[in-house]
Chain A
Amino acid sequence: MIRWDKRIKLLFLLPAVIWVLTLTIAPLFFSLYLSFTDVKREVVITGVEEIPVLDKDGNPKTRSDGSIRTKKVKQKELQIKYDWVGFKKYKRVVNDQEYQDAAKFTFIYVIISVFVEIILGLFLAFLFNRRIYGRGFMRSLMILPIFATPFAIGFMFFTILFEISGPLAWMGIPFLSNHNWAPFSVMLVDIWQWTPFCFLVFLAALQGIPDDLIEAATLDTKSAYKIWTSVILPLLQPIIVLVILLRVAESAKLYDYIASLTKGGPGTATQSVSFLVFNKAFKMNDFGYASAGSFLMLIVVMVFVMLFFTRLRKTYE
């Protein structure tokens, strides 16, 4: 009876497993395969049959000169040939200056935007972790950006940062037209949208710290700084690590803001790896390059995540 129950449980899991296998795992492995192959795709017309075009009553349609209208029905065969090319595509990607620039921008973007989001999120959580008038309303207001669509936010910031008549035009800063400022503008958008997420998680974590622990600490020291660094931050550390991981993984996929705000420019100043590989795949039909570029990125992010987890594990051992 117990064994039968277990099987039932497995049966209930089956749809989810099929879903993941077909829509995640299979495309992932196919993409991996594409990164090692050259694909030649050709439609070969094997036969052509000319047949009359019929009207709704089944009679042949005629042209104005009385001749019967015909159409050619083609028998076709799709021939796809996969040639194994080893690491050729990876070599091409690694040696491609454009990919190198995109990787460099993505790296800097992730480091700066995630760092600022964590610091700002912590600061705001600290401010809100007390009894203040209208805290609930303010908290709701602050987390609104999380729910907006990144693509739409890109367009919104395009208007805000418009250099001639936008609301920030008075500052005289070339937000989108200068290759040094444009990366900053994209980071600004990310920070605006995702700092509230960090804030929300940190605030929940802060509110989960027992009051008596803080009260005990205040018996030892009156220094708020010392209480923060010696008590609160160590307690928050797992949450901070988790938020960093989530934000790094998300930021590294940067595509939407760029597509709607800068198109990767000026030049290649704001071109992320995701934006580059997407365009290679869907604008140039170069799926081999795109797959190889994506897997290289995946490897870098995985290494980063593993290092972080290793560090985290050591902390608690």
Chain B
Amino acid sequence: MINKVITTFVTLLSALAIALPAVAGKHVNWKDDGTVDLIHEDGTVINITREQLGAAYGPDEKPFEGETITVLSLDSGPKGGISGPLYSARPIWEELSGAKVELALVPFADLYSKMMLDMKNGTGLYDATITGAFFYGDLVDGNYIIPVEDIGYGTPDYGQWSYDSIPPNLRKLHEWNGVGYGVMNDFDGQVFYYRTDAINNPEMAAQYKAETGDELKVPETLQELLQISAFFNGKNWDKGDDETDYGTVLHLKVGEQGHYHFQSLSASFAITPGPLDKYHGVYWFDPDDMTPLINSPGHKAALNFLKELHLTGPSAQIGWSLGEAWDVFLRGKAVFTFSWGDVGSLCQDESRSNIKGVCGSIAIPSSTVYYDHEKKVMVETDNPVTYGNTTGGTWHGVVSQFSENPEAAYAYLAFMATEPWHMWSAANGWTGVDPGAYFNYLEPNGTATMDQYDAYGWAPTDIQMYSDAYHENYTAPISLEYLRIVCTPEYWDIMDKNLSAAMSGQKTTDEALDDTAASWEEITDRCGRDRVLNMYQEAIGYNQ
């Protein structure tokens, strides 16, 4: 008898355990105060208002029930950059919308061809793609993507986000000729990271003064930075072990992100400051005829500088990807690195970093010499202006023209663009989603508060500098123009190879950049000079 009772009780309990989550929702909790808890698989909760979430969703409203969308993206795994948040959002949004999300994840090297084959054949295999902004030339040229206004942007139905919350330098990477195509997600740009404890160390300051005659301080120009980096390189200034430490650590491996270092660093050498015209504000090509500028004296000076800078770090970094370079900095072995926003947030992850609380950030200092494209001379200046950059992919979603369910695809992307979700993504280093929207910056530059970042485990000094550095970078009056024309992958591929050849000594600076320029001429002719020229002018907003 007792056995029967126990069996019945256990059966009832099991049935309840199965049924209850189904009723209450495993990932979504609709609260009485008008907000909604979004519950991750690992238990992390993001609270969002119903208005932010979108009016189409409700406890009994599943707007996309029965629909399936497929999203193409980079593959870094469920806890890796860019693909990680897609995994995290999937079960929550599926529960909210009733739709099913398929993730088609591919290595970076395959993304472009998979995306373009699908678009060029019009198969509509992928409803949305998390694309790099450098693919826009091809996407817009072929009319392969849908303006977001046609599929729900601006309506109260889906996740609420706005282009107005993005600084103009980043916003234009999501648009073409003023029409919005991209749904904000990741924001890429490089800043300089430095060890505050090393720079503020009185013992090192005294040594530095004795060696160079200068005060040790946060560098204000690239030339100062090089001198400081050279000073720290080869000394055991990080006393945690017996090993010598480095000045600057970089990720220079060919076929990966090496050429982005050159882009960000060379901006202040190669761009003539001033309002955009034929000579000012341009970096890649002469906007009148597509003559490459990559072998200008400014670019060559920048490459020579980068070669000197890399000598103040491990020689092995010529063959390093992001992971290796970041690891050295996060382990406290280098005083400087310059890279994407991931580094700042990874500094806070104590499972990977032992520099939490001493991880400073500044916008990339500028060079005291730059090339004047109009007068054809190198110019020296004592007060160089800050050059911003949006170097990188700024990986974000676009919806395919051939999607069967474009509105559902947009809604999934918009869900991840809402402020609470984006703050969570941007504050956690592993997501690969970097900050850039105004609500990511601390007050008064933005609307974020120290408490918000504190909740995500940030050291107050680190987040203050990080927020200020990125705000300065993205709102700088001069910014490195972003190349997003057809054939961009080809232009960058050959530049990447030649830069790597120069860094490793396989070619001289002149050979590397002159060869790049010659190859670019050939690519421009092959891709159609007039077509490329028009796109280039449109992309940078140049009017003759």
Contacts and interface: CB of A to CB of B under 8 A. Distances in A.
Interface of A: 41-43, 45, 53, 55-56, 61, 63-65, 69, 71-72, 74, 76, 78, 97-98, 162-164, 174, 176-179, 182, 262-269, 271, 279, 281-286
B504 A178 contact: yes
Nearest to B258: A265
Contact of A283 (B109, B157, B498): B109
A268 B498 CA distance: 8
Interface string B156-187: 11000000000000000000000000000000
Nearest to B246: A164
A45 B144 CA distance: 11
Interface string B317-359: 1110000100010000000000000000000000000000000
B274 interface: no
Given A164-B316, A177-B319, A283-B112, A69 B407 contact: yes
A238 B405 CA distance: 63
A76 B500 CA distance: 43
B198 interface: no
6 interchain residue pairs of minimum CB distance: A267-B501, A265-B254, A263-B255, A266-B504, A163-B316, A43-B122
B314 to A, nearest CB: 6
B316 A71 contact: no
Contacts of B489: 283-284
B90 interface: no
Given A63-B157, A267-B498, A283-B493, A177 B254 contact: no
A23 B89 CA distance: 40
21 contacts: A43-B142, A43-B402, A45-B401, A53-B67, A55-B65, A56-B65, A64-B156, A64-B157, A71-B407, A76-B122, A177-B315, A177-B319, A179-B504, A265-B253, A265-B255, A265-B319, A265-B497, A265-B504, A267-B497, A267-B498, A284-B490
Contact of A179 (B407, B494, B501): B501
B200 interface: no
Nearest to A178: B504
A78 B121 CA distance: 6
B308 to A, nearest CB: 16
A74 B401 contact: yes
B22 to A, nearest CB: 18
Nearest to A287: B113
B375 to A, nearest CB: 33
B34 interface: no
A100 to B, nearest CB: 12
A15 to B, nearest CB: 29
Nearest to A64: B55
Contacts of A263: 253-256
A284 B493 contact: yes
A182 B56 CA distance: 57
Given A174-B316, A267-B498, 12 more contacts: A43-B122, A55-B65, A61-B63, A63-B56, A63-B157, A64-B155, A177-B316, A182-B319, A264-B254, A265-B318, A265-B497, A284-B489
A286 B526 CA distance: 11
Interface string B383-413: 0000000000000000001101111000000
Secondary structure dominating the interface of B: helix
B1 to A, nearest CB: 46
B11 interface: no
B503 interface: yes
Nearest to B507: A267
A71 to B, nearest CB: 7
Contacts of B328: 164
Contact of B113 (A176, A271, A285): A285
Contacts of B502: 267
Contacts of A69: 63, 407
B515 interface: yes
A284 B314 CA distance: 32
A39 B468 CA distance: 49
Contact of A267 (B117, B121, B315, B506): B506
Nearest to B504: A266
A283 B504 CA distance: 24
Given A98-B494, A265-B500, A267-B501, A176 B319 contact: yes
A218 B66 CA distance: 84
Contacts of A71: 404-407
Nearest to A73: B404
A267 B500 contact: yes
Contact of A266 (B65, B493, B503): B503
B120 interface: yes
Contact of A285 (B63, B112, B157, B493): B112
Nearest to A270: B254
B76 to A, nearest CB: 16
A281 B117 CA distance: 11
Nearest to B314: A164
A281 B318 CA distance: 26
A65 to B, nearest CB: 8
Contacts of B314: 163-164
Contacts of A174: 315-316, 318
Contact of A43 (B55, B120, B156): B120
A76 B253 CA distance: 42
A179 B315 CA distance: 12
Contacts of A43: 119-122, 142, 402
A174 B63 CA distance: 58
A259 B341 CA distance: 27
A74 B504 contact: no
A248 B503 CA distance: 32
B110 interface: yes
Contacts of A42: 120, 142
A204 B407 CA distance: 66
A166 to B, nearest CB: 9
A177 B318 contact: yes
B504 A76 contact: no
B202 interface: no
Contacts of B256: 263
Nearest to B502: A267
A279 B112 CA distance: 11
Interface string B38-67: 000000000000000001100000010111
A162 to B, nearest CB: 7
A72 B151 CA distance: 10
B275 interface: no
